Amino acid sequence: MDRSQLFGRTGLTLVLIGVAGALIAGSIAGAGLAYADNASFCGSCHSMRYEYSTWAGSQHKQFTCGDCHLPQDSLARKLYVKTESGVRDVYHETLRDYPENIRMRPETKGITDNNCLRCHAATVENTFMAGGGESCIKCHRGIVHGRFAVKEGVPLD
């Protein structure tokens, strides 16, 4: 067997191993994202108990947390926002320093409003909301997570 045949087989073997590894890694990453997008995962933190229970009793319980709270325009942006917010959540959950009333950041409000409009565009197309610039959450904050601000946070004792 000459050297070029050996290199050809070895090269093909390495490419096949690389492709198999990429498929396995992609499957694991996809399964991880699907799991982390699940409401029971989000609700497993002490600071999200109230949000989880109100979501579970709402008219929107068929949607995941990510359906409303993560961007849906591109997978790359969704992964970036999920990673950024996940790191922030783990940090605050570990330090146990969440505020009593957890509030959405302005960027998160924009993402959530966009997701409301993605599903409810036909509902708002003939209203003052159609022009944009208004927040769905301003009037409809309690639709999924209840109407009242509940002091939840993480107990520090």
The residues spanned by each domain of the chain are 37-145
Q: What is the mean pLDDT of residues 59-63?
A: 89
33-58 per-position pLDDT tens digit: 778 888 888 888 777 878 888 888 88
CA of 120: how far to CAs of 5, 59, 68, 83, in Å?
Answer: 61, 14, 12, 27
Q: Which two tokens stand for residue 25?
A: 């890694």
Give exposure, 117-151, as e/b (b: 16+ Cβ within 10 Å): beeeeeebeeeebeeeeeebbeeebeebbbeeeee
Q: What is the pLDDT of residue 85?
A: 87
The reported pLDDT for the residue numbered 70 is 92
What pTM did the predictor assign? 0.70
State phi, psi for 74 to the nearest 5 degrees.
-155, 145
The Cα–Cα gap between 114 and 70 comes to 10
User: What pLDDT, on a 0 to 100 scale, did the predictor assign at position 156?
Assistant: 43
Token pair of 53, please?
Answer: 């229970």
pLDDT at 24 over 90: yes
**CATH superfamily ID and name for 37-145:** Di-heme elbow motif domain (1.10.3820.10)
Higher pLDDT, 3 or 136: 136
Rg (CA), the chain: 22
Task: Decide: 63 and 145 in contact? Cβ < 8 Å.
Answer: no
More confident of the two residues 2 and 102: 102
Give residue-wise pLDDT tens across range 84-141. 988 888 888 888 887 766 778 888 888 998 898 888 888 888 887 777 777 888 788 7
